[in-house]
Structure 1
Amino acid sequence: MVARKHDDEAIKQALIGRTVTEAAEMLGLHERNLYVHKARLARQGWSPEHDMSHAVPDGFHLKGTSTLYKDGAPVMQWVKSSIDHERQRELFQQAAWAMAAALPQVGPAAGPDITLPHLMAVYPIGDAHIGMRAWGEETQGESWDMTEAVRVQCGAMAALVELAPAADQAVIINLGDWLHADNMEGMTSRSGHVMDLDGRYAKMIDVGMMVMRQCITSALRKHKTVRVINVVGNHDDTGALWMSVALRHTYENEPRVLIDKSPAAFHYIEHGKVLIGTHHGHTCKAERLPGVMAADQAQAWGRTEHRYWYLGHVHHQSVKEYAGVTVESFNTLTAKDAYAAFGGYRARQNMKCIVLHGEHGEVARHTVSPNMLSSI
């Protein structure tokens, strides 16, 4: 990002008592750029020529002002503001980068001697919900906590890596909702639903990071490179962002690990004639996804023949073929919580590894369920 020549206070001082043309000349800015800054400051509540001098805090935007005048002079003013979600997301990412700078870093690890360049192994992880607590008495005998999440998720990943061929590239896709909650209150940010949690948010972060790092370590033993995508879910809007930042810093010195940095809701992977799109599934219906891929990846769509969408969110497997692309949602390894049990949801628990050939598309897949890990 290019550094600005002047901060907001300097721009305000230049504009007071001057025209935009005069202020731009004084600051050495193009007049058009200064108009942009002036409009931005007005949206934040600063426009002296309209008796607006109370700017809202960074992370908010102005909804409106009401001014009481007496004898033509302003006597009292009410400033109404609301949260600027995009700006708060930017501030959150900046804070995450600053905090990640103090994290330990992983050095290069020895890789496999031989890998198959025409193959790519994809490990889609459906809604892990790390931090969720379930009491077997009210969930049809399925108890769950963070200890069980570590055993099952790490065990399943290790087992799938053993089953997978030595593909040149591995892609670990966290399909969203890696963490069960996104804040200290244990509530979803969008809907305010209260979650059944196993322990504090800090413990959830610690366990969630540890499990993902173990998944990466398992993949590095067999594959030449490991790419990690953290898709934004409805349970962890900010969790997916800070986890990507933390992982990028942690593996900065490991050239075989690539952490996707994009905070976008849609991610894409291209491998030979294969194109994969990833999305949590909570903001866009399945029937719209073929058009989204064609618009976002027009050139890649033309280069490829085998196109797939991988989704989470619904916790059950669903596969539907559309013109030009197949849309699939994945199961989760996690047990049902009270909400799912009371709602009659009974999807199977498993995780898959999908093997894709650069020329022929999907050529194999392996499945591991928690029952297969009972001896681990």
Structure 2
Amino acid sequence: MLAAKGGWAPEQQMVHPAAPGFQVKGTSTLYRTDGSVAGQWVKTSQDGVQMQAALEAAVVAMAADLPKVAPRKARGSWRTDLLVGYPIGDPHIGMSSWGVETGEDWDLQIARRVHCEAMAALVEAAPATETALVVNLGDMLHYDSMEAKTPRSGHMLDADGRYAKVIDVAVATMRQCIESALSKHKFVHVVNVVGNHDETGALWLARLIATVYEREPRVTVDVNPSVFNYFRFGKVLVGMHHGHTCKPEKLPGVMAADRATDWGECLHRYWWQGHIHHESKKEFPGCSVESFNTLAAKDAYANNGGWRSARTMQAVVFHREHGEVARSRVNAAMFEEAA
């Protein structure tokens, strides 16, 4: 099977191996009447697995020369029995929305301001817990390459700015959210969930943030490339998944299989999702699955398709023995009006 993907399957007249880094996309063979091969056309494409490995290696190498955040002394007192989680739903940094058409403006600067100010407000209202969980629930970046389109379907997107600008704003936004959390909490754990708009962007963003904070022991970053991420706090287990590859009803089984020991030892189990942009929560046996709003405005595609939802961000407070005990909420209009 692997040899055939590389172009080598003599029994099927495939005798032209693809170049390193490429795989065979398809072949067309012209046969003579006697069954011999008169001609063959081999179509190749870049090998996705090798491309991802090369991209990850390049990101690690490039990030190694970035300035690192110096350790800072943690000050104050913190509650160790509580955890505050900050789920950031689908930021879509790099998306463009024209208010005249959609009713809501959105661009790079608005995205940065709204997310940073929303995070700061939620942190200010949160209890001073020893540990905080900052989660980008996927689609931090609106598109994943130099072309403004979704990586799988090729759906064309309304974009603001060059990809380099999108990267700058995404990194700055995540760093500011982390810095806000560090101002209240002693330790901050960061998760960048893989989304359908940024399948590779989420990978390099996680590694970049991990490198920037590698000298700061108060910050830990999950660099697991899986589409499923987990965090445990006492008897609380939180799973994080964007929502584009697995249906909600399957997630409890995924958690039980992936984290069998944690599942057995925890009494409170939660899945956090983004993707659909509206709030939804369903309880399954042993686990709840919840999707969160986005702060981002709707683009022309969503507007024309009739999708409408609130634009909010929440902070969720967990007790290590008793599960979720409190929430706070802000909405995008609070920070757009201040501009």
d(CA) in 1 for partners of 2:133, 2:26: 47
Partner of 2:282: helix, strand, or coil?
Answer: strand
The residue that corresponds to 2:92 in the other structure is 129
Partner of 2:326: helix, strand, or coil?
Answer: strand
Choose from 182, 192, 196 the match for 2:144. 182
TM-score by length of 1: 0.83
Q: Residue 112 of structure 1 contacts residue 222 of structure 1 at CA under 8 Å; is this kept in 2?
A: no
d(CA) in 1 for partners of 2:338, 2:165: 26
Could you give the per-residue CA deviations for residues 34-83 of structure 1, whole angstroms, max 9, x where no partner exists?
Answer: xxxxx9667534689999774323333346776989xxx99976545444
The residue that corresponds to 2:65 in the other structure is 102
The residue that corresponds to 2:76 in the other structure is 113
Choose from 265, 287, 299 the match for 2:249. 287
The offset of 1:213, in angstroms, is 0.4
Partner of 1:138: helix, strand, or coil?
Answer: helix
The residue that corresponds to 1:259 in the other structure is 221
d(CA) in 2 for partners of 1:115, 1:282: 36
Partner of 1:123: helix, strand, or coil?
Answer: strand
The answer to which of 327-336 and 78-87 deviates more is 78-87
The residue that corresponds to 1:86 in the other structure is 49
The question of 1:224 aligning with 2:182 is answered no
d(CA) in 2 for partners of 1:51, 1:341: 51
Query: Please, what is the CA RMSD of the aligned residues?
Result: 2.4
Choose from 298, 319, 322 the match for 2:284. 322
Distance 1:272 1:147, change over 3 A: same
Gapped runs of 5+ residues in structure 2? none
Could you give the per-residue CA deviations for residues 163-219 of structure 1, whole angstroms, max 9, x where no partner exists?
Answer: 111111111110001011111111111111111111111111101100000001000
Aligned AA for 1:104? P
The residue that corresponds to 2:135 in the other structure is 173
Aligned AA for 1:278? M
The question of 1:351 aligning with 2:332 is answered no
The residue that corresponds to 2:264 in the other structure is 302
The answer to which of 79-88 and 341-350 deviates more is 79-88
Choose from 172, 192, 198 the match for 2:160. 198
Partner of 1:229: helix, strand, or coil?
Answer: strand
Distance 1:359 1:68, change over 3 A: same
Could you give the per-residue CA deviations for residues 78-128 of structure 1, whole angstroms, max 9, x where no partner exists?
Answer: 545444322322222112112212222111123232111121111000000
Partner of 2:261: helix, strand, or coil?
Answer: helix
- Percent identity, aligned pairs only? 54
The number of residues matched between the two structures is: 336
TM-score by length of 2: 0.91
d(CA) in 2 for partners of 1:250, 1:315: 30
Distance 1:68 1:278, change over 3 A: same
